[in-house]
């Protein structure tokens, strides 16, 4: 069926901010869809609240709305734009839910908008457990039946019916506690009773246990002609029980015979047909490892994280094809973008192995529970391609950037046999390394399989690596070296194992001619000629990368998404590659994150899907011989490679490496500031606790402290007095000459952030942003406001002046990001980053300045003045924009939600409007903070904040809010005549604060941090319960003030409008 | 560990590690892009005379079981893999791949850059080659490879067909005579599953003998080599045409075509894999099919014949299905019985049975 002629204008819904479970994959799918639609001549209307995305670029859609993803906002846009169709299946669960809500609210009917692709009925059917089960029963596909029990008798009956073992899960709990696997009636009674107690609604779910079964996924496509294909199947390393987002995944399946492969393939096709999905769909199965028995676990009637992975793993662009299907094309009418000779109606054949490992945030959240289960915890993922499982596994491990290059995790060496066994049985993020350690100690494969439930096939692969570790350690002969490289060992790991320096290994390799070759990802296992330059390395015979003669530049990507290094950097990498093309250069991207736009094979001229280590990047450089390397856009990952690459004679484009070094070296940097007469906070390092106490006394409390070397302990914190300092040092457990403590003056002032671009002469400043939260809250966790509102012309002039001075002194060519604090009317420099920062996409969008493009061109030697930009600040816009951080606390139990110097947010949203209050309101709404218009506020603040909070409470009371407070705060409030109901602390018996929260009697919490953020403290519990109950919890008085402003303006009833970026 | 080499007729040498039988073995080298199903491929009689290169790089992962064989033994002349897996995991696995090849006297070679080899075959077309662990000189071995008989010069069907007729399935069911040119077990199974009685006869059985079984329908199976090398089967089919419904698969499809006057030709490197899209011209629907053939029906030879093209390959538009305009006879170039590969085309067996009923 050819393209439909009646569709002229289509809306695409994005997925909003990056949170755990919904990351950059939807920018990739959304951008692909927008491009596919535009290529078909469709006018595209795009709505997404996340500014750090390529899809919200003005060239991706004709009308771009960065607005909250709420029914109200999107309905307003629909009314204004009147698109013919709405494409709901590309924006993750957020997009899908929103589309359903819009349909249910009657807006689609009212504005005569057609839901494209998958019908609404299908979405409902797939999303609703019961209707889905009914449909599966009808077509004879087995699903696990989870049944609800409300008392022990019911539980006994259900379990007997299902048959032991069964899984018990309390319905609606705090962090999924209290469930478990039970083998018999006795265990059932114990666990069920506990479950009823833990459940907030007194219910438990009982289902058949499929523990230890293989988890297999299929990515399926279907068009309206009923043509169906499988793009890819995938096998999880972990058996059923770990969320697929937290699972190590291998594509294609490894341990399935053709019978099993085809059985599940046929089931997948049957399911997509029964559901009537038009586009992409993901089906997850549990397969009994000892029979043909299987269950359908889940179906996602939309593109997903897995489909992004499958697209990158195969070269088959699922989102693009889905968008075309929605326009009426059938699969065989869509060209295969890789071969250009065949169509999208085929099944990719892989001739390599793909290995995905999630990236978990446990390096940031030390107190978080590392156990993996049904709740996803990873923030991002890496993917590796190699010709062997071992090679792909090792590449993936070093792509993670967790400080290890192979399967040796040093900390495990100290564990006892018993601890190893315990760790094998409990699933956590380190299991790959634990299995390796167990094998190293001689544990048998079948024993490990019994303990972990992981297929012996994978354990044998790890064993092969361990076997070679031993060979390498004993004698690194040329033969062993060659075999080790074929198996995927990194030079760095070979160096550690053999006791030789890494450079020597590289030399030896080069001398022996042991070098990687690059193979192409072509969707067809070389059966057809392919034109798409998408490569991976392997140690084999024939290279096929056909390097061109053209001048080229390599852009280093930013690797997996983690807290502190998010999608913003992918946005920058993509724009840099595009700008290189614009300058007539060939662009080469190196990255390993399968979720992103940068690893879409048509973003750059050439894509190398490789780890971002010195060795892997150098190999590509030797192959491609680029004129230079861009390190400014790939976050810390890329910047960290500047020096090692430079030392090997690689040309780093832009800001000189010495300057990068200087900015990162504290002592040199302070010396530079002194020379430039730019003030900075006073700071020293202490080698022992006594010294630390003395330094803190000298500087004066509060002080900002952090270990110079973070080792599994806590990191940066603000302490307000001596006892807090001592407490910190005791917890850190290690302050000695080897690990000094850095102590800085903590300036409690307004934080300012400036991004600038320099060509070495001119220093152009697109904008100055002010943070709502005072210094002390990590800049990534603060609300940023553009343009800054509280700066007088003199301060602004100083900021501009310092920025220009610093950029010139550091000989910046490209981007620079500077963080300032203004305290006592003075401007201090906190930090200079000689690279692009996380505010670049936001600032680019609100100012309209193509910042990455300018920076890239400046690096190539183009002059800003020739590009139309001069030294100084761009005239500030008349509208207001805010960047609001978004957290994933509900996914991470045991993590304190209080804000501090350590970054905790996973994503961001933008609010933009004519007035500050409206922009802020949009920002809060988009971030999912449900600001109550009326209700009850719980106030419990640290002593130092009590005086300040009084002013805000006064105003909240005036707005009609009821105030509840704990004794200390209540006393202060009562003293100034504010009515406050006193509530018991946890230690004071019931009903206490937590009971109030549980009973949903609180609408907003204001809680500032006391010392010692131990999970046991009252404050911690209040904050956690607020998260679990979905009650907004403000941990900073600055945020409180901002919220107050918004509520005040809402009271006045100002109408909120939505406006496309094109109209600002 | 035994060093071994794969030598092509053009003199290219691939070093590797020998596994399975230690003998020297030659044949036409073909590649298969299926990611699963190596056991079915090894035992498919259509691969007689061929050395099979698996493009998927690790082979042997799920071992060898007792159910998935497509004939009583491994049939390939040689087996080329990037990596041999000796630690399989699958509940049905009874044997490692290496042991299985040993047992069946099949030569294997591992450690070959199979992607480079596949690209070579794609560019130059199918080539002959040898797997050898002997120390002889390259020139000598490639000469030997060049002297290997071409497929068209060999009657490979005679080597793989059953020597005696046998029957299976329910006696009261529909009676199907299967002309065994090297039939995969799953063809028989697919018929038996549909409650047919299947009489499997040698490929050299004449039409009279076939009709003497009083069949309700006749199937011509898949098989190895050039359809031009089995004129006797073509003659048989010519005589059977119109007498009973006929269904041909793969070589059987080419034979039906030849029997109706069409011509066949050798493809540059053939179709071998589990992902080939085929369009049913009547419905417009596309099916993903399992394929294994080096020859095809020449489309331009069909002009003026009583044959209608029913299916075309979406990738290269080669003929994938034929239907006789007058008689209830049809055939497909691909494998509706799957094993290995997608089961999307099982319905063709139902269609065949509906022609009979």
CATH number for the domain spanning A218: value is 3.30.470.20
pLDDT in tens, A700-751: 999 988 876 543 335 678 888 898 888 888 876 655 666 788 899 999 899 9
Whether A353 contacts A392, CB under 8 Å: yes
A102 with A135, same domain?
no
The pLDDT tens digits for B208-233 are 999 999 999 999 999 999 999 999 99
| C-beta of residue A299 within 8 angstroms of C-beta of residue A322 | no
**B346 annotated active-site:** no
Does residue B36 sit in helix, strand or coil?
Answer: coil
User: Is the same domain home to A503 and A361?
Assistant: yes
Is residue A64 packed enough to be buried (19+ CB in 10 Å), middle (13-18) or exposed (0-12)?
Answer: buried
Is A556 found in the same domain as A630?
yes
Q: Rounded to a whole number, what is the distance in Å from the CA of A725 to chain B's nearest CA?
A: 55
Q: How many CB atoms lie within 10 A of CB B91?
A: 15
Residues A329 and A431 in one domain: no
Q: Report d(CA A286, CA A267) in Å as an integer.
A: 12
pLDDT, tens digit (0-9, with 9 covering 90-100), for A397-410? 999 999 999 999 99
Please report residues of A whose CB lies closer than 8 A to that of B36: 252-253, 256-258, 261-262
With beta carbons under 8 A apart, name residues in chain A contacting B58.
254, 353, 388-389
Arithmetic mean of pLDDT, B177-182: 98
Of B67, B82, B344, which is closest to A387 when you measure between CB atoms? B82
How many CA atoms are closer than 13 Å to the CA of A662, on its beta-carbon side?
Answer: 17
Helices (H), A414-539: 417-425, 431-440, 445-452, 456-474, 478-487, 491-498, 502-512
B337 is a catalytic site residue:
yes
**Beta-carbon contacts of residue B39 (< 8 Å; ≥ 6 apart):** A257, A258, B64, B65, B68, B69, B100
Does one domain contain both A340 and A385?
no
Q: Using alpha carbons only, give the angle B161, B164, B168 rounded to the nearest 5 degrees.
A: 90
Measured CA to CA, the distance from residue A805 to residue A799 in angstroms comes to: 10
In terms of domains, do A626 and A686 share one?
Answer: no
Does residue A348 sit at the B interface (CB-CB below 8 Å)?
yes
Q: Which residues of B touch A455 (CB under 8 A)?
A: 89
Taking an 8 Å cut-off on Cβ atoms, the answer to whether A332 and B342 are in contact is: no
**Shared-domain flag, residues A253 and A202:** no
**CB-based contact, A265 to chain B, within 8 Å:** yes
Q: What residues of chain A lie within 8 A of the CB of B119, using their CB?
A: 526, 542, 544
Q: Which of A483, A514, A545 is the last residue of a domain?
A: A514
Q: Can you give the pLDDT at residue A713?
A: 38
- Active-site choice (B40, B50, B96, B337): B337
pLDDT tens for each residue of A649-659? 999 999 999 99
B182 CA: distance to closest CA in chain A (Å): 21
Q: According to the model, what pLDDT value does residue A712 have? A: 37
CB distance A547 to A624 below 8 Å: yes
Q: What is the CATH number of the domain that holds A160?
A: 3.30.1490.20
Window 363-392 of A, Cβ < 8 Å to B = 387-389
Contacts of A270 in chain B (CB under 8 A): none
Give the closest residue to A712 by CA, choosing from A410, A436, A432. A410
Chain center to CA of B28: 13
Q: Which residues constitute the domain of residue A43?
A: 9-116
What is the pLDDT, as a whole number, of residue A176? 52
Question: Which residue stretches of A738-890 are H helix?
Answer: 793-809, 840-847, 851-859
Residue A891 has a pLDDT of 83
Distance between B208 CA and the closest CA of chain A, angstroms:
38
- From the centroid of its chain, how far is CA A712? 21
User: Helix or strand or coil: residue B89?
Assistant: coil
Is A347 touching B (CB cutoff 8 A)? yes
CB-based contact B115 A351, cutoff 8 Å = yes
Cβ atoms < 10 Å from Cβ of A139: 12
For B354, phi then psi, to 5°, come to: -70, -25
Query: Which residue of chain B comes nearest to A541, CA vs CA?
Result: B113
Q: Any chain B CB within 8 A of the CB of A727?
A: no
**Percent of chain B scoring above 70 in pLDDT:** 100
Domain membership of residue A1002 (yes or no) is yes
Backbone torsions φ then ψ of A340, nearest 5 degrees: 60, 0
Under 8 Å between Cβ of A189 and A168: no
Inter-chain residue contact A254 with B61, CB threshold 8 Å: yes
Across the interface, whether the CB atoms of A542 and B14 are under 8 A apart is answered: no
- How many helices (H) and strands (E) chain A has is answered by 35, 39
Nearest to A1034 by CA among A1005, A1011, A1000: A1005
Residues 273 through 292 of chain A touching chain B, CB cutoff 8 Å: 289-291
Cβ of A349 within 8 Å of Cβ of B275? The answer is yes
Place of tokens 């402290």: A705
Out of A745, A776, A792, a domain closes at A745
By Cβ distance, the residue of B39, B277, B339 closest to A343 is B277
Whether residues A215 and A203 share a domain: the answer is no
pLDDT of residue A902: 85
- Cβ-contact A23, A379 below 8 angstroms: yes
CB A476 within 8 A of CB A494: yes
B143: helix, strand or coil:
helix
Q: What is the CATH number of the domain that holds A940?
A: 3.40.50.1380
CB pair distance less than 8 Å for A257 and B92:
yes
Which residue in A223, A259, A390 has the most chain B C-beta atoms within 10 A of its own C-beta, making it the best mutation to test that interface?
A: A259
CA distance B179 to chain A (A): 26
Residues of B in contact with A525 (CB under 8 A): 31, 33, 55-56, 115, 118, 273
Min distance A253 CA to chain B CA atoms (Å)? 9
Does A259 contact B at CB distance below 8 Å?
A: yes
Residue A332: inside a domain: yes
CB pairs under 8 A between A and B: 166
Nearest to A542 among B85, B91, B116 (CB): B116
Residues A392 and A453 in one domain: yes
In chain B, the domains with their CATH numbers are: 2-148 (3.50.30.20), 156-356 (3.40.50.880)
Share of chain A above pLDDT 90, in %: 74
Question: Which residue positions in chain A have pLDDT lower than 50?
Answer: 710-713, 1012-1013, 1015
**Each residue's pLDDT tens digit, B90-113:** 999 999 999 999 999 999 999 999
Confidence of residue B356 (pLDDT cuts 50, 70, 90): very high
Does any CB of chain B come closer than 8 Å to the CB of residue A543? no
The answer to whether residue A916 is domain-embedded is no
Given A514, A549, A572, which residue is the final one in a domain? A514
Which residue on chain B is closest to A528 by alpha carbon? B122
Concatenated DSSP letters of A905-945:
--EEEEEEESSHHHHHHHHHHHTT----SSSEEEEE--GGG
- This prediction's pTM: 0.95
CA quadruple A797, A798, A801, A803: dihedral sign: negative
Asked if the Cβ–Cβ distance from B36 to A257 is below 8 Å, we say: yes
Whether residues B340 and A262 touch (CB distance < 8 A) is answered with: yes
pLDDT tens readout for residues A515-529: 999 999 999 999 999
Residues in B touching A527 (Cβ below 8 Å): 31, 33, 55, 118, 122, 273
In a domain, A795, yes or no: yes
What is the pLDDT, as a whole number, of residue A279? Answer: 95
Proportion of chain A above pLDDT 70, given as a percent: 97
Angle at B54 between CA A532 and CA A382, to 5 degrees: 50
What's the gap in Å between the CA of B144 and the closest CA on chain A? 25
A351 part of contact set with chain B, CB < 8 Å: yes
Using CB atoms, pick whichever of B40, B119, B286 lies closest to residue A331: B286
| Residues of A whose CB is below 8 A from B92 | 257
Same domain, A1019 and A953: yes
Active site residue B250: yes
Identify all chain B residues contacting A262, using CB atoms and an 8 Å cutoff. 36, 338, 340-343
Contacts of residue A81, Cβ cutoff 8 Å, sequence gap at least 6: A9, A11, A45, A63
Q: What angle do CA A990, A996, A1002 make, to 5 degrees?
A: 160
Q: Per residue in A275-311, pLDDT tens?
A: 999 999 999 999 999 999 999 999 999 999 999 999 9
Q: What's the total number of domains in chain A?
A: 8
User: DSSP class of residue B319?
Assistant: E
Q: Is A524 on the interface with B (CB under 8 A)?
A: yes
Residues of A in contact with B286 (CB under 8 A): 225, 227, 330-332, 345
Q: Catalytic residue among B181, B196, B250, B260, which?
A: B250
Task: Determine whether the interchain pair B275/A332 forms a contact, defined as Cβ–Cβ distance below 8 Å.
Answer: no
Tell whether A248 and A330 lie within a shared domain. yes
Q: Give the mean pLDDT of B63-69.
A: 96
- Residues of chain B found within 8 Å of residue A483, distances taken between Cβ atoms: none
Is the residue at A645 inside a domain?
yes
Q: Residue A669: inside a domain, yes or no? A: no
Please indicate, yes or no, if residue A677 is contained in any of the structural domains.
no
Tell me what pLDDT residue A181 has: 82
My answer on whether A859 and A734 are in the same domain is no
Contact B219, B177 (CB under 8 A): yes
Cα–Cα distance between B193 and B168 in angstroms, integer? 11
Would you give the distance in Å from CA B300 to the centre of its chain?
A: 24
A656 within 8 A of A581, measured Cβ to Cβ = no
Interface check A455 vs B, CB under 8 A: yes
Residue A883 lies in a domain: no
Q: Is the reported ipTM for this assembly greater than 0.90?
A: yes
DSSP label at residue A615: H
């Amino acid at each position: 069926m050819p393209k439909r002629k009646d569709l002229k204008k289509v809306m695409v819904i994005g997925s909003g901010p990056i949170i755990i479970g919904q990351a950059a994959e939807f920018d990739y799918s959304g951008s692909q869809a927008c491009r596919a639609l535009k290529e078909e001549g469709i006018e595209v209307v795009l709505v997404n609240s996340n500014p750090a995305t390529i899809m919200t670029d003005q060239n991706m859609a004709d009308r771009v709305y960065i607005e909250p993803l709420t029914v109200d906002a999107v309905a307003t846009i629909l009314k204004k734009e009147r698109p013919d169709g709405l494409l709901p299946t590309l924006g993750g669960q957020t997009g899908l839910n929103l589309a359903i809500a819009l349909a249910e609210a009657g807006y689609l009917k009212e504005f005569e908008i057609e839901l494209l692709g998958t019908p609404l009925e299908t979405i409902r059917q797939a999303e609703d457990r019961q209707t889905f089960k009914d449909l599966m029963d009808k077509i004879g596909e087995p699903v696990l039946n989870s049944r609800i029990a409300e008392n022990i008798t019911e539980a006994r009956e259900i379990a007997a019916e299902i048959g032991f073992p069964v899984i018990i899960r309390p319905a609606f709990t705090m962090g999924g506690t209290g469930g478990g696997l039970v083998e018999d009636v006795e265990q059932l009674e114990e666990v069920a009773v506990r479950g009823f107690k833990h459940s907030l609604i007194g219910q438990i779910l009982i289902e058949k246990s499929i523990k230890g079964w293989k988890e297999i996924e299929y990515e399926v496509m279907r068009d309206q002609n009923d043509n169906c294909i499988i793009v890819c199947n995938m096998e999880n390393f972990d058996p059923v029980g770990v969320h697929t987002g937290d699972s190590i995944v291998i594509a294609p399946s490894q341990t399935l015979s053709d019978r099993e492969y085809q059985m599940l393939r046929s089931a997948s096709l049957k399911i997509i047909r029964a559901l009537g999905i038009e586009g992409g769909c993901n089906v997850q199965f549990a397969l009994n490892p000892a029979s043909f028995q299987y269950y359908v676990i889940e179906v996602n009637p939309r593109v997903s994280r897995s489909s992004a992975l499958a697209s990158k793993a195969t070269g088959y662009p699922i989102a693009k094809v889905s968008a075309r299907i929605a326009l009426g094309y059938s699969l065989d009418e869509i060209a295969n973008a890789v071969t250009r000779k065949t169509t999208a109606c085929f099944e990719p054949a892989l001739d390599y192995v793909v290995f995905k490992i999630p990236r978990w945030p446990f390096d940031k959240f030390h107190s978080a529970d590392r156990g993996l289960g049904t709740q996803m915890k990873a923030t991002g993922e890496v993917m590796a391609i190699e010709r062997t499982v071992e090679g792909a596994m090792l590449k993936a491990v070093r792509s993670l950037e967790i400080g290890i290059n192979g399967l040796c995790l040093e900390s495990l060496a100290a564990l006892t046999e018993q601890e190893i066994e315990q760790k094998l049985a409990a699933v956590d993020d380190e299991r790959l390394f634990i299995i390796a350690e167990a094998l190293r100690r001689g544990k048998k494969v079948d024993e490990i399989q019994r303990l972990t439930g992981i297929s012996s096939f994978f354990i044998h692969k790890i064993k092969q690596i361990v076997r070679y570790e031993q060979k390498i350690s004993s004698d690194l002969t040329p033969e062993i070296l060659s075999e080790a490289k074929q198996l995927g060992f990194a030079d760095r790991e070979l160096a550690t194992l053999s006791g030789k320096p890494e450079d020597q290994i590289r030399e030896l390799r080069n001398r022996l001619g042991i070098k990687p070759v690059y193979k192409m990802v072509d969707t067809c296992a070389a059966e057809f000629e392919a034109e798409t330059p998408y490569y991976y390395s392997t140690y084999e015979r024939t290279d096929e990368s056909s390097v061109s003669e053209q001048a080229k530049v390599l852009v280093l990507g930013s690797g997996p998404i983690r807290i502190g290094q998010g999608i913003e950097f992918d946005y920058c990498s993509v724009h840099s590659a595009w700008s290189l093309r614009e300058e007539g250069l060939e662009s080469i991207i190196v990255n390993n994150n399968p979720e992103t736009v940068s690893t879409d094979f048509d973003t750059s001229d050439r894509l190398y899907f490789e780890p971002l280590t010195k060795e892997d990047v150098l190999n590509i450089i030797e192959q491609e011989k680029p004129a230079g390397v861009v390190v400014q856009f790939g976050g810390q990952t890329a910047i960290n490679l500047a020096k090692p690459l430079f030392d090997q004679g690689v040309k780093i484009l832009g800001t000189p490496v010495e300057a990068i070094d200087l900015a990162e070296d504290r002592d040199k940097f302070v010396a530079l500031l002194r020379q430039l007469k730019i003030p900075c906070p006073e700071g020293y390092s202490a080698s022992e606790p006594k010294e630390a106490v003395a330094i803190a006394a000298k500087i004066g409390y509060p002080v900002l402290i952090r270990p110079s070397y973070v080792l599994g302990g806590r990191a940066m914190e603000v302490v307000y007095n001596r006892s807090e300092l001592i407490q910190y040092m005791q917890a850190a457990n290690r302050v000695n000459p080897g690990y000094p403590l850095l102590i800085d003056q903590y300036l409690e002032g307004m934080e300012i952030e400036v991004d600038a671009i320099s060509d070495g002469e001119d220093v152009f400043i697109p904008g100055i942003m002010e943070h709502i939260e005072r210094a002390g809250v990590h800049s990534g966790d603060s609300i940023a406001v553009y343009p800054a509102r509280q700066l007088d012309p003199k301060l602004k002039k100083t900021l501009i002046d310092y920025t220009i001075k610093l950029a010139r002194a550091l000989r910046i060519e490209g981007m620079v990001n500077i963080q300032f604090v203004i305290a006592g009317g003075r401007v201090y420099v906190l930090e200079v980053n000689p690279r692009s920062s996380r505010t670049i996409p936001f600032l680019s969008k609100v100012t309209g300045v193509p910042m990455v493009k300018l920076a890239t061109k400046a690096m190539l030697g183009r002059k800003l003045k020739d590009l139309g930009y001069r030294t100084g600040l761009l005239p500030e816009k008349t509208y207001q924009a805010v960047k609001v951080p978004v957290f994933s606390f509900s996914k991470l139990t045991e993590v304190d939600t209080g804000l501090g110097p350590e970054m905790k947010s996973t994503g961001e949203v933008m609010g933009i409007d004519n007035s500050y209050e409206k922009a802020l309101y949009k920002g809060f709404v988009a971030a999912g903070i449900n600001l109550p218009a009326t209700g009850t506020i719980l106030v419990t603040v640290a002593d130092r904040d009590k005086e300040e909070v009084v002013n805000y409470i006064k105003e909240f009371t005036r707005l009609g809010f009821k105030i509840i407070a704990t004794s200390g705060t209540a006393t202060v409030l009562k003293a100034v005549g504010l009515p406050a109901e006193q509530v018991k602390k946890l230690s004071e018996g019931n009903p206490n604060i937590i009971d109030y929260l549980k009973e949903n009697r609180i609408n907003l919490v204001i809680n500032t941090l006391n010392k010692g953020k131990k999970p046991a403290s009252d404050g911690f519990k209040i904050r956690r319960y607020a998260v679990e109950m979905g009650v907004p919890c403000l941990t900073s008085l600055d945020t409180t003030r901002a919220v107050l402003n918004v509520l005040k303006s809402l009271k006045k009833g100002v109408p909120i409008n939505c406006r496309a970026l094109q109209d600002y | 560990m035994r060093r071994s080499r794969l030598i092509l007729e053009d003199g290219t040498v691939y070093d590797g590690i020998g596994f399975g039988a230690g003998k020297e073995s030659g044949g036409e080298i073909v590649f298969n892009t299926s990611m699963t199903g190596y056991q079915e491929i090894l035992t498919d009689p259509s691969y007689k005379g061929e050395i099979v290169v698996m493009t998927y790089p690790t082979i042997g992962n799920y071992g060898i079981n007792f159910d998935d064989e497509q004939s009583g033994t491994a049939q390939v002349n040689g087996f080329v893999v990037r990596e041999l897996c000796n630690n399989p995991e699958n509940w049905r696995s009874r044997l490692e791949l290496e042991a299985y090849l040993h047992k069946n006297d099949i030569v294997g070679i591992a450690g070959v850059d199979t992607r480079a080899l596949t690209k070579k075959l794609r560019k130059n077309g199918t080539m002959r080659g040898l797997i050898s662990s002997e120390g002889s000189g390259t020139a000598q071995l490639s000469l030997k490879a060049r002297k290997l008989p071409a497929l068209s010069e060999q009657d490979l069907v005679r080597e793989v067909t059953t020597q005696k007729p046998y029957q299976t399935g329910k006696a009261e069911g529909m009676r199907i005579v299967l002309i065994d040119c090297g039939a995969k077990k799953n063809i028989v199974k697919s018929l038996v599953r549909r409650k047919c009685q299947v009489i499997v006869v040698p490929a050299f059985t004449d039409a009279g003998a076939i009709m003497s079984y009083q069949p309700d329908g006749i199937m011509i199976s898949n098989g190895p080599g050039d359809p031009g090398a089995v004129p006797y089967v073509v003659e048989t089919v010519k005589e059977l045409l119109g007498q009973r419904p006929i269904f041909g698969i793969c070589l059987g499809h080419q034979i039906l075509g030849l029997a109706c006057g069409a011509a066949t030709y050798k493809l540059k490197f053939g179709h071998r894999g589990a992902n080939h899209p085929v369009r049913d011209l009547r419905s417009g629907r596309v099916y993903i099919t399992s394929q294994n053939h080096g020859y095809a029906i020449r489309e331009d030879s069909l002009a003026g014949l009583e044959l209608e093209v029913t299916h075309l390959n979406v990738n290269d538009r080669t003929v994938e299905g034929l239907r006789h305009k007058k008689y209830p006879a049809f055939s497909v170039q691909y494998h509706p019985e799957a094993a290995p590969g997608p089961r999307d085309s099982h319905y063709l067996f139902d269609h065949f049975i509906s022609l009979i009923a």
